[in-house]
């Protein structure tokens, strides 16, 4: 519900800080005092179009803040959470308009686009006036009100969820069907590529081994010759060395000379040990060389096979524009994709079957919801027509129309729901947006809101002059209906009729003061005594009398 409304420098309002209560609140005052200015300021906070001429003369900007308690507004709370704008148990809507015509909007102190504050306001408050912000002119609100009235919101949500699932599957099917040729071509290419890689059958680590083997086989003769030369140098005979000494012979000769030196000092002993170790290392190197020479194979046939195998590997890597060592990963990737595309016709058939099943689930639920709606629409039509008769619109005929449109399903089901009205006997039924009289529209709105009050999720309702064109007993009925509605929702009502104001739980009086040629609108909450006086003024004019006071008390049930 709306708990506070703070207005600064808006038209004739210099500053107002209003605290609002539950129940029905009547807003009264003489003509021209600015009662509708209050609703204009509230409308700006809710996202209505801003004009620079709404800024109070001589001021730089107008600033309006509306505070809502969120206890009974689950949809609005969820909206705030989804948009990362949640703020405990209260919600603050703020609007600032400069004298140059610029406008800024805030939700819980965070700047937001104007469309966001408008979207949220529809979940917070409903204003019924002869001008803007009338949700009942939208067919979407008709469907929502009817579902709330027949208490089928869970079923409606299930219908919406199954519709979305049906459309999701259908989209997948259409994409699969439309891309069938392209996917078949892709399948054929993948099949060829994977088959080629299967035949290559490249094993882990095989590439490195083949490259090393190819180098060895290609250079086998050179490696053998050079290895034999090194072996001869280590421990060869004179012929092998072209008459020279091998390294082993040279080391033995050096050690013999060293041992002939006297005296043998510690340094010479260390040198002898080093030469001896060198001799041991030469022997080990010679033995290793002999083993390596024995293992070297000069095999032209094997070399040809290895080079052919490597050429096949390199060719495949060039085809796929990858490095040779990436072939194994590519093989896995293409095999997985081929597996997913295998059986394309079967996949298309399975997808079509899933679409048909999803549609059947949706249609069953939507048909069930449609039956509930049609039954509730008949009851709602009867109730609202009774309310209209009590509101001096006995010649009117209201119809909550539910027509099935199987060829146009949507996330709300298979129904086209619209509230229609014939304001005069014999006249065709028209949509509420076609109603010309603002007073008639206000009374129609009042009748609908009272009829759906027990199930409606709207916490705050505002009625701007719903009593236009009525009086007498009908005015009493309007007052009683608003009082009844105020027991379920917060109701703000601008009225000129004492019969309506007398039924209010709370009462505000609007007045206009003029000081130093400056006019200002003021609003005060009336206690019981002043409320009686205000109602008496509404009965008899500015001159109060004992009779008007007594009449006011009688209206308020205080006689």
Question: Is the pLDDT confidence value at 133 over 50?
Answer: no
Question: Is the pLDDT confidence value at 382 over 60?
Answer: yes
Cα three-residue angle 341-344-349, rounded to 5 degrees: 135
Tell me how far apart the 2 most distant CA atoms of the chain are, in Å: 154
Question: Is the pLDDT confidence value at 316 over 70?
Answer: yes
Cα three-residue angle 515-519-520, rounded to 5 degrees: 105
* pLDDT at residue 132, rounded to an integer: 37
Quote the CA–CA distance of 270 and 263 in Å, as a whole number: 14
* pLDDT at residue 508, rounded to an integer: 93
Quote the CA–CA distance of 59 and 38 in Å, as a whole number: 18
Distance of CA 261 to the CA centre of its chain: 97
**Quick one: which of 349, 322, 341, 312 has its CA closest to 189?**
341
Quote the CA–CA distance of 363 and 355 in Å, as a whole number: 12
Question: Is the pLDDT confidence value at 239 over 70?
Answer: no
pLDDT category at 306 given cuts 50, 70, 90 is confident
Strands of 90-98's sheet in order across: 13-19, 2-10, 61-69, 90-98, 103-107, 110-112
* pLDDT at residue 217, rounded to an integer: 79
Helices (H), 320-427: 327-341, 344-390
Question: Is the pLDDT confidence value at 158 over 80?
Answer: yes
* pLDDT at residue 343, rounded to an integer: 59
Strands of 518-525's sheet in order across: 125-128, 460-464, 490-494, 24-28, 506-515, 518-525
Residue that is written with structure tokens 């024995």 in the block:
294
Q: How far is CA 101 from CA 15, 49, 55, 61, 112, in A?
A: 20, 10, 9, 9, 17
* Strand, coil or helix: 41: helix
Average pLDDT of the chain, as a whole number = 86
Pick the range with the lowest mean pLDDT from 21-30, 115-124, 291-300, 504-513. Answer: 291-300
Q: Which helix (H) or strand (E) holds 260?
A: none
In terms of pLDDT, which residue wins out, 413 or 264? 413
* pLDDT at residue 243, rounded to an integer: 56
pLDDT category at 303 given cuts 50, 70, 90 is confident
CB burial of 234-259 (b: ≥16 within 10 Å; e: otherwise) equals: bbbeeeeeeeeebbbeebeeebeeee
Length of the chain: 559
* pLDDT at residue 438, rounded to an integer: 64
Q: How far is CA 460 from CA 41, 72, 140, 301, 321, in A?
A: 16, 10, 19, 95, 67
CB 90 within 8 A of CB 70: yes
According to DSSP, residue 423 is labeled S
Quote the CA–CA distance of 413 and 147 in Å, as a whole number: 11
Q: Which helix (H) or strand (E) holds 64?
A: strand 61-69
The pTM (predicted TM-score) of the whole model is 0.59
* pLDDT at residue 475, rounded to an integer: 84
pLDDT category at 130 given cuts 50, 70, 90 is low
């Amino acid at each position: 519900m709306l708990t506070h409304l703070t207005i600064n420098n808006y038209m004739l309002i210099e500053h107002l800080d209003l605290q609002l209560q539950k129940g029905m609140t009547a807003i009264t005052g003489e003509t021209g005092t600015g009662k509708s200015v209050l609703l204009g300021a509230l409308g700006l906070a809710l996202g209505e179009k801003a004009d620079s001429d709404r800024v109070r003369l001589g001021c730089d900007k107008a600033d309006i803040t509306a505070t809502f308690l969120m206890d009974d507004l689950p949809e609005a709370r969820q909206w705030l959470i989804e948009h990362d704008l949640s703020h405990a148990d209260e919600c603050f809507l703020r609007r600032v308009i400069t004298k140059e015509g610029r406008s800024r909007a805030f939700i819980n102190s965070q700047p937001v686009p104007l469309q966001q504050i408008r979207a949220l306001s529809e979940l917070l408050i409903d204003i019924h006036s002869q001008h803007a912000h009338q949700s009942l002119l939208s067919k979407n609100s008709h469907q929502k009100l009817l579902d709330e009235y027949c208490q089928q919101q869970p079923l409606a949500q299930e219908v919406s969820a199954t519709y979305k699932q049906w459309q999701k599957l259908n989209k997948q099917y259409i994409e699969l069907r439309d891309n069938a040729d392209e996917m078949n071509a892709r399948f054929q290419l993948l099949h060829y590529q994977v088959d080629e890689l299967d035949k290559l059958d490249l094993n882990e680590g095989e590439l490195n081994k083949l490259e090393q083997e190819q180098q060895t086989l290609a250079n086998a003769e050179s490696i053998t010759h050079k290895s034999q030369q090194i072996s001869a140098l280590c421990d060869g005979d004179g012929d092998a060395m072209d008459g020279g000494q091998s390294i082993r012979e040279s080391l033995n000769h050096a050690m013999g000379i060293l041992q002939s030196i006297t005296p043998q000092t510690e340094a010479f002993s260390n040198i002898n040990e080093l030469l001896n170790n060198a001799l041991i290392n030469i022997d080990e190197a010679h033995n290793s060389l002999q083993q390596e020479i024995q293992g070297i194979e000069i095999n032209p046939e094997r070399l040809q096979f290895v080079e052919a195998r490597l050429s096949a590997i390199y060719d495949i890597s060039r085809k796929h524009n990858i490095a040779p060592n990436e072939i194994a990963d590519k093989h896995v990737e293409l095999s997985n994709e081929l597996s997913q595309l295998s059986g394309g016709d079967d996949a298309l058939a399975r997808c079509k079957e899933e679409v048909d099943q999803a549609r059947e689930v949706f249609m069953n639920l939507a048909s069930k919801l449609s039956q509930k709606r049609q039954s509730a629409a008949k009851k709602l039509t009867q109730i609202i027509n009774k309310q209209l008769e009590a509101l001096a619109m006995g010649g009117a005929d209201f119809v909550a129309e539910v027509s099935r449109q199987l060829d146009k399903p949507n996330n709300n089901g298979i129904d086209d729901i619209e509230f229609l009205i014939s304001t005069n006997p014999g006249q065709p039924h028209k949509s509420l947006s076609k109603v010309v009289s603002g007073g008639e529209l206000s009374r129609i709105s009042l009748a609908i809101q009272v009829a759906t009050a027990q199930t409606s999720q709207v916490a705050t309702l505002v009625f701007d002059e719903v009593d236009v064109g009525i009086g007498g007993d009908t005015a009493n009925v309007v007052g009683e209906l608003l009082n009844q509605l105020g027991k379920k929702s917060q109701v703000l009502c601008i009225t000129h009729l004492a019969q309506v104001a007398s039924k209010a739980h709370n009462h505000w009086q609007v007045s206009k003061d003029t000081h130093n040629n400056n006019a200002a609108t003021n609003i005060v909450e009336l206690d019981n005594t002043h409320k009686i006086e205000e109602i008496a003024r509404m009965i008899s004019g500015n001159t109060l009398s004992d009779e008007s006071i007594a009449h006011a008390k009688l209206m308020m049930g205080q006689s």
